[in-house]
Amino acid sequence: MAKTEVILTHNIVGLGGESDQVKVAAGYARNFLFPQGLAIPLTGANKRRLDVLKQRRAEREAHELNTMTELAKGISKLICVVTVKTGEDGKMFGTVTSGMIADQLKTQFEISLDKKKIHLEHPIRALGEHEIELRLHPDVATTLKVRVESTTPLPTPAVEPAAPEGKPEEPKTEKRGRRPERGPEKGGKPEKAEAAGKGHEHARGPRGPRPERGPRGDRAPRAEKPAKPQKAE
C-alpha cells in the first residue's frame, strides 16, 4: 500500500497534532484527510505554513492546560452520585462504568467529559463512596468522589431485646394520699372528735361565754305543796 507524507492541520487522536508531519495511506489522505481539511500535502509551499501551524498549536495547548487545571480544581470538590439497583441483601446488579459516571457528570454538573479520561482501576461493585482518577490532560490529573446509592432502601435489622440478668425489680407504685398519723390514743379518736368539734363550731359559729350562775341561796324558794285533806273516819 502506497504511503504519502502529509502535514496535519488539526489534532487527530491516534495520529498526531497540527503541524505534525506523518505518513499515512495515500487513499486515506486522498479520500478523508484532504477533503475534511485535516491535513495538507507535504510540499515546499506548504512547509512555509509550518510556523503558523506550530504557533496555533502552542496557543491551543496552553488554553487546554489552563482550562483543565481549573476544571480539576472544581471536580476535586464534587461528589458524583450514581444510583444502581440492588437485591434485598444489598448486592448490586452489574457494575458502575466510566460511561455512567460521565453521564452523571453531564446531568448533575453540566460537565462534558470524555469517558476515556475516567480511569477505573477496578470495576465498582459495592455501594458507598469511591475515589477514581481522572486524567484530564497529559499534565493534569485529579480525583473524583463517586457515591454509589441503591434505588431500593435496605431493610433495617431488627434489634433483639437483651436478656435480663436475674429477676427484674417490680416498679413501686406511688400512693395518691397519705393516711393521717395516729396520736398516742388508740384508733385516733381524740383527733377525730377534735376535728368533729371544730366542724360543728365552724357550722354554728363561735360560742359566747356562758352566763355565770348565782349562789344557791339567792334562788327563789320553792312553793309549798298544799296538804292533802284527811279522809273522814
- Domain of residue 43, CATH code: 3.40.5.10
Q: Which structural domain, as residue segments, surrounds residue 40?
A: 3-48
* 200: in domain: no
Q: Report the number of distinct structural domains present in the chain.
A: 2
Least confident of 35-44, 79-88, 151-160, 196-205: 196-205
- CB distance 111 to 136 below 8 Å: no
* 15: in domain: yes
Strand partners, 92: 86
Domain boundary residue, one of 150, 168, 199: 150
* Same-domain status, 81 and 143: yes
* 106: in domain: yes
* Same-domain status, 89 and 130: yes
In whole angstroms, what is the distance from residue 6 CA to residue 30 CA? 10
Domain boundary residue, one of 134, 150, 166: 150
Compute the radius of gyration of the chain from its Cα atoms.
56
| Residue 90 banded pLDDT, cuts 50, 70, 90 | confident
* 199: in domain: no
Specify the pLDDT at position 24.
92
In whole angstroms, what is the distance from residue 89 CA to residue 85 CA? 11
Say yes or no to pLDDT of 72 above 90: yes
| Residue 46 banded pLDDT, cuts 50, 70, 90 | confident
* Same-domain status, 39 and 76: no
Residues 6+ apart with CB under 8 A from 116: 98
* 58: in domain: no
Least confident of 91-105, 123-137, 175-189, 191-205: 191-205
Residue with cell 457528570: 105
Give the three cell numbers for residue 64: 487546554
* 35: in domain: yes
Does the pTM surpass 0.75? The reply is no
Residues 6+ apart with CB under 8 A from 139: 65
Contacts 24+ apart (CB under 8 A), 43-51: 46/7, 47/7, 49/7, 50/7, 50/19
Which amino acid appears at position 221 of this protein? P
Which amino acid appears at position 190 of this protein? P
Specify the pLDDT at position 123.
83
* 221: in domain: no
- Domain of residue 99, CATH code: 3.10.430.100
102-130 per-position pLDDT tens digit: 999 999 999 999 999 999 888 899 999 99
